[in-house]
Structure 1
């Protein structure tokens, strides 16, 4: 039997000074972004690591014997909470006064990653607002000189110094660099600065995730150097030196927890997922995932039916934790009954239960044995199991009740078996390959499918089609090694629901659009508009769903996308474009009237045509090109009659609410006039009418007046 001890846990100081240790550090190999790494450490340990001295730097490097890249540590930029006033006297500040800020537009921005000090910008167009700048710049500055008659006294220096030198000068000659507690202080200092840019006492440093005040720094030359890179990583291949990095990067990381030594470890126990173990004669809480013995016996394989040499694990003095291998691949104890005469023994041992699925817990499982047709013939016993990051198990094994009983090993279950995509009729499944495993059995709906892994590393993908929308399905995946099936791993996944049906605009006003669609079974909805999303819960009962989107702009097109949502899975989405109603035309009125017509006039509205409604008829009117008013004459009217006209603006076939006016035609007059004409020749009645019309026009009678000449005998 071959054993080899692998120990990865190291502590926050050299083991030679164990009595002074306070922290224990943990290397987590799973790459996460900085925020996720912080959450992980706070959940399973204490926090991301704080580094306070070079001994801590050495301890961080020693947490991994093989990894040489970047790891996240707890240092990061906090533009909101990391600003501190140089004057720390709490009696100087009233409630909330330490947090008064007067930033200029889009400040602070940490341009080029070196802006840790603050300048007050006086004069136009800044008017006393603040800017974060490089502390090495030389500027005039304002010192606080105590109070006079209860009011703060400030002194503007005519000397230009960098921020640190200005702070030193103020502390040696006055009290400190000026603190600005409120708008009154800000106005006083801005007036004193008289258009100059001056240092005030506000500055910041990068902060530690756990709130530590450590000022220790260990930067790579030229770091920190970039504004967008707000989180800090340590280079394991460069003596642990620091650089600022984009917080969205996925990197391994270092967590820490308080050191629990023999004085408290045995008495009070350890945090979840850890155990009180001896490491180099020091008893402390250690994660068994980092402190185990490798158990790599080929005869333990479930495929082994050769019992020429019988093995019995009752003779082994099991101590500590063990990780199982088959060849070069991680393995595990089977979860199902193994037929007798396998695994190099008469009575194979298997776990009666499932392996843990959470990485921060140690679970207890019952171990059974197979003999004469029974899967648990002899007295059972218990062992402890933990799932480790990197997806392998470690076991705290115990002696079985008799001989010949021995633990079996089976190929490891699929790593990260997951649904990578869904639509209404199919689910795509994915899992990671394991070394030396090339065959899988996929079970679904009472059928089995044999799947061969492609060559090379990477993931395996399998799509199940012809499914029903918005439905839960259970899939089973089994590894096959040398013709023998490994443990079963199951996954429940869901098809996307059907898209909502009959999505349409129900009502539009100048500032809102009401949408309507049909309900779908067991689904809620998400409505997407211009990058924002609104979750909508379907009402109880039957009927359509309605939702009103408000605060829109009149006469504008909007595209809405609606998703059905079932168990957090969205449909593909259905989109419609709808428009708000345009505004009503302004300046609507009558500009001229005759006995038989009325001319209407109104102002144009952008991108709209019009509908004029009167006497139960409608007329479509296109707006003319260019600027100016729109005119329209309504003819064939009755003289001396009132008419009501309603005008609608129209955009994308959507009408405005409409505006109405009342206007009247002119009255009809009949009058007679005696005119004496002298002519050298006799005139016809038509010639007489033309002569009279010319006379009337000469005296301003409108041309609409009709003239009829009749001869009358004297």
Structure 2
């Protein structure tokens, strides 16, 4: 059987494009944060994400033009379970799939946001505590990449030191790295590069940009786990997620993409289950961004196109 070339014509997908701004959609219904998130995901893409000063300025102007003067839910929330990230590359424990927490740790989510190591086990501590620390230097050979600095510093000052003199604080993203750090730590309590980045975006966007209003997020406000934009200061504040507020949804810009798939076996391309399976695979490649199909003028989504070898075989059979 000749190999068939299946052309998926006009895949209409809601792709994220950094060069283009997404579209905000204001909803005046008063809902709690979870209800607002569900509404946005069902009717748009997600709650609004603000990852740059440009986004923040555009968001603020949009609300001002609406004339709305009360607080508005945005997609930022306080994440406990998956809030730990590595200073070196921003990867989280969910991505690496490895952790070395000691039994009962982490145990103080409200104020212990930095990680230390002792004999290969991790614990959380206040970032202001003074400890020795381990740096990582990417320019050194493997045997010399981890450097123990015995002068105690806070976690933030240790991070600054490592970035200035080496590459960054040391990461322990797998068992091998953890063993190497345990040996290098010389049985001391030492800072490593894992920190709690407690505020996350609903659509999983990664950004270090913040626009908190004065005195926000509230110190010790562990029960205030959702963020809102406030007209009074054009900044963010943390509030109880159960409060009822208007909210801002978002859709990213759309792109139309033509995709060609080669297959040795026939596919029932008009079968909704087949279409859903293909869309799911594409969405995984796009980190969960939504994909939809667009019908052609003849009512079909897919058209089958045979390759040159298949055409030659058919012509030979005709002869």
Provide the residue aligned with 2:123 in structure 1.
131
Q: Determine which structure has greater relative contact order: mean sequence separation of CA pairs < 8 Å that are 6+ residues apart, divided by chain length.
A: 2
Displacement, 1:49? Answer: 0.9
Matched, 1:228 2:223: yes
CA contact (8 A) 2:76 2:200 kept: yes
Change (3 A) 1:153 1:115: same
Provide the residue aligned with 1:55 in structure 2.
57
Displacement, 1:141? Answer: 0.8
Q: How is 1:689-704 mapped onto 2 (pairs within 5 angstroms)? A: none
Provide the residue aligned with 1:76 in structure 2.
77
CA contact (8 A) 2:213 2:233 kept: no
Q: Deviations over 1:182-218 (max 9, x none)?
A: 3343344335434533211122432222233333211
Change (3 A) 1:182 1:97: farther
Change (3 A) 1:176 1:22: closer
Match of 1:202 among 178, 194, 201: 194
Displacement, 1:180? Answer: 0.8
SS of corresponding position for 1:222: coil
Whole-angstrom distance in 1 between the partners of 2:233 and 2:189: 41
Matched, 1:169 2:158: no
Displacement, 1:147? Answer: 9.2
SS of corresponding position for 2:25: strand
Displacement, 1:148? Answer: 8.2
CA contact (8 A) 2:80 2:109 kept: no
Displacement, 1:97? Answer: 8.1
Whole-angstrom distance in 1 between the partners of 2:49 and 2:165: 36
Q: Deviations over 1:343-368 (max 9, x none)?
A: xxxxxxxxxxxxxxxxxxxxxxxxxx
Q: Deviations over 1:623-668 (max 9, x none)?
A: xxxxxxxxxxxxxxxxxxxxxxxxxxxxxxxxxxxxxxxxxxxxxx
CA contact (8 A) 2:21 2:253 kept: yes
Change (3 A) 1:115 1:252: farther
CA contact (8 A) 1:223 1:244 kept: yes
SS of corresponding position for 1:59: helix
CA contact (8 A) 1:139 1:198 kept: yes
Whole-angstrom distance in 1 between the partners of 2:112 and 2:32: 24
Provide the residue aligned with 1:98 in structure 2.
96
Provide the residue aligned with 2:265 in structure 1.
none
CA contact (8 A) 2:213 2:234 kept: no
Whole-angstrom distance in 2 between the partners of 1:245 and 1:108: 24
Q: Deviations over 1:570-622 (max 9, x none)?
A: xxxxxxxxxxxxxxxxxxxxxxxxxxxxxxxxxxxxxxxxxxxxxxxxxxxxx
Q: Tell me the TM-score normalised to structure 2 length.
A: 0.60
Change (3 A) 1:241 1:110: farther
Q: How is 1:1-400 mapped onto 2 (pairs within 5 angstroms)? A: 22-51=21-50, 52-53=52-53, 54-59=56-61, 61-62=63-64, 64-68=66-70, 70-88=71-89, 98-108=96-106, 111-112=109-110, 114-120=111-117, 122=118, 127-145=119-137, 153-205=145-197, 206-224=199-217, 225=219, 226-236=221-231, 238-258=232-252
Which ranges of structure 2 fall in alignment gaps of 5 or more residues? 1-18, 255-319
SS of corresponding position for 1:217: coil
CA contact (8 A) 1:85 1:98 kept: no
Displacement, 1:173? Answer: 2.6
Displacement, 1:255? Answer: 0.9
Provide the residue aligned with 1:296 in structure 2.
none
CA contact (8 A) 1:72 1:233 kept: yes
Whole-angstrom distance in 2 between the partners of 1:174 and 1:87: 11
Provide the residue aligned with 1:581 in structure 2.
none
Whole-angstrom distance in 2 between the partners of 1:65 and 1:117: 41
Larger radius of gyration: 1
Provide the residue aligned with 2:280 in structure 1.
none
SS of corresponding position for 2:146: strand
Whole-angstrom distance in 2 between the partners of 1:66 and 1:176: 44
Displacement, 1:132? Answer: 3.2
Q: Deviations over 1:268-326 (max 9, x none)?
A: xxxxxxxxxxxxxxxxxxxxxxxxxxxxxxxxxxxxxxxxxxxxxxxxxxxxxxxxxxx
RMSD of Structure 2 on Structure 1 (CA): 3.3
Change (3 A) 1:116 1:63: farther
CA contact (8 A) 1:27 1:254 kept: yes
CA contact (8 A) 1:143 1:174 kept: yes
The structure with the largest strand share of the pair is 1
Displacement, 1:38? Answer: 1.4
Q: Tell me the TM-score normalised to structure 1 length.
A: 0.29
Whole-angstrom distance in 1 between the partners of 2:134 and 2:144: 12
Q: Deviations over 1:521-544 (max 9, x none)?
A: xxxxxxxxxxxxxxxxxxxxxxxx
Displacement, 1:240? Answer: 2.8
Whole-angstrom distance in 1 between the partners of 2:22 and 2:212: 22
The size of the alignment, in residue pairs, is 228
Displacement, 1:170? Answer: 1.8
CA contact (8 A) 2:96 2:173 kept: yes
Whole-angstrom distance in 2 between the partners of 1:148 and 1:157: 16
CA contact (8 A) 1:145 1:153 kept: yes
